[in-house]
Structure 1
């Protein structure tokens, strides 16, 4: 074919392509302006607005849930997770069957499962603790950044949110082979007593006792989820028993004693709010000075009892005693609200150290 023929052929083809392209654009514009096109655009716009609204709603309430729980991450969520994971790795110390050999993948899996259970169970307990009028009044003084003083939710909305999370907890317990189900149910009942029937307000010893029972539920439930099996507690009295099957129960009772006798350290910096709420906490009942000695003396005892119970190595023994005596010194010498808050953080570091002791035990 000659050059002229090739040029003519090309010239003939190009206009047909442009006509086709123009036709497609016109067709698209026509469809967009048609009732069907406008309806489709409207549906897409509505869908985008719904998704945007849903995202705003979820983000808003997720942040509210974070505000409900964040101040207790250092007291409940993180220490309970540490207990569950570290004690599951030391299962042989309790005569329990352990999982396959420990690997990084297994450690991450256990940590995530345990953390999820602890935070899921803690959310409704925390909301219940903050939603009553007296609790809102106290938090307005002590913790004004919490959701209820900020009016991010009404008390009715908070109750609805608490109920939803409690239902989720029950579903998780039923679908998860009952892991942590006994503990979560017990925590619900303890929460009712503590927040709604005067358990936290009428007597400091009762208040500490409920706290101790709550701690036991959190850490034993965390251990069940980390192990992937329900714990069986012998019906016999564990005190004085030497069989390994009693070791876990003895350890839980020992930790309960620690919480019962020292947890009112957190009441030292909450005295203004507790007075407004008319709570009978240890500092308000027996006085600030005497309350500090009721913390310092037991701390001195527990500092030695726990390492000796597990026969830990010298390094951990020194760490435990050092943290405990730091708490004792600060409780007696640093008596302002800011210092008491810092002292309570050190107490939580010590508790986490205590929780991990079975992992470094030389008993087994």
Structure 2
């Protein structure tokens, strides 16, 4: 069972970018005491850490009864809805990967974040906090993004985040707020399946049109706030601003499952752009 490409776009690649780019920015502020090559050489380890911590969560997410029911309509080719694996077998695989994630985090770094992700995954999947309320759903997503990002940073710099740079804690707080208020972009294309499983996602609770306007305004506002936070020059201002405005315009103009999936992919590009700002 592999991690779905959507999660590579949302988690593996962007969080690896965050860890590597932010660590390079931290070393730059310290006068280049550590060569860039040392960080770049650890990029495969950073990506592996993100992947090994994401994999058991993804399995747990797919093995839930509601998820299997939804996937029978939307993604019947997946392992469990297609009958190639039972829920019990999925749980066994998941339970095998969690110790591997802990062992890898103990060796590479990011152990605290690994344990936090296990707790968040339990709340998201087993306690159904992602289905009951859009606030808890978005909050867990925000905390999960920060756990992946700070863990990737720990692996990249080979030390714990508070010792490496306390300034980055504030930036992680901003990222958490960005994700909490805009991550529902991923729910726009999934409204049919979410309605079938009874998930109280943001667009289903507040309505499709209102959700699009609120999300578009949030993306535009956060583009400005993040650029001001790092006091970047004109080049990044124009680039990030254009991507943010494009995401907002697509949310309002292009509607439908295919269009919303494209908008969500562009949202991931926008997030990756924000991650580059410290450098």
**Which position in structure 2 is the counterpart of 1:174?**
106
Q: Which one has a bigger Cα radius of gyration?
A: 1
**Which position in structure 1 is the counterpart of 2:221?**
301
Separation in 1, partners of 2:162, 2:248? 36
Runs of 5+ in structure 1 lacking a partner? 1-63, 234-243, 360-364
- Shift of residue 156 of structure 1? 1.0
**Which position in structure 2 is the counterpart of 1:75?**
10
Contact in 1 for aligned 2:26/2:165 (Cα 8 Å): no
**Which position in structure 1 is the counterpart of 2:77?**
145
**Which position in structure 2 is the counterpart of 1:84?**
19
Task: Give the 3-state SS of the residue equivalent to 2:170 in structure 1.
Answer: helix
**Which position in structure 1 is the counterpart of 2:65?**
133
Matched, 1:249 2:169: yes
**Which position in structure 1 is the counterpart of 2:255?**
335
**Which position in structure 2 is the counterpart of 1:186?**
116
Matched, 1:101 2:35: yes
Alignment of 1:1-364 (within 5 A): 64-65=1-2, 68-92=3-27, 100-103=34-37, 106-176=38-108, 179-232=109-162, 246-359=166-279
Deviations 1:194-248 (A, max 9, x none): 1111211111111100100000000000000011111127xxxxxxxxxx95421
**Which position in structure 2 is the counterpart of 1:38?**
none
Task: Give the 3-state SS of the residue equivalent to 2:161 in structure 1.
Answer: coil
Separation in 2, partners of 1:107, 1:196? 36
**Which position in structure 2 is the counterpart of 1:15?**
none
Q: Scaled by the length of structure 2, what TM-score is found?
A: 0.95
Aligned residues: 279
Separation in 2, partners of 1:265, 1:248? 25
**Which position in structure 2 is the counterpart of 1:3?**
none
Separation in 2, partners of 1:169, 1:133? 25
Separation in 2, partners of 1:76, 1:114? 12
Deviations 1:332-357 (A, max 9, x none): 11111100000000000000010011
- Shift of residue 144 of structure 1? 2.5
Contact in 1 for aligned 2:49/2:105 (Cα 8 Å): no
Contact in 1 for aligned 2:9/2:268 (Cα 8 Å): yes
Contact in 2 for aligned 1:91/1:97 (Cα 8 Å): no
Task: Give the 3-state SS of the residue equivalent to 1:74 in structure 2.
Answer: helix
Separation in 1, partners of 2:80, 2:6? 14
Label 1:156 to 1:98 Cα distance change in 2 as closer, same or farther (>3 A). Answer: farther
Q: Scaled by the length of structure 1, what TM-score is found?
A: 0.73
Separation in 1, partners of 2:50, 2:235? 30
Contact in 2 for aligned 1:88/1:98 (Cα 8 Å): no
Contact in 2 for aligned 1:99/1:227 (Cα 8 Å): no
Label 1:83 to 1:300 Cα distance change in 2 as closer, same or farther (>3 A). Answer: same
Task: Give the 3-state SS of the residue equivalent to 1:232 in structure 2.
Answer: helix
- Shift of residue 108 of structure 1? 4.1
RCO higher in structure (CA 8 A, sep ≥6): 2
- Shift of residue 115 of structure 1? 0.4
Contact in 2 for aligned 1:267/1:281 (Cα 8 Å): yes
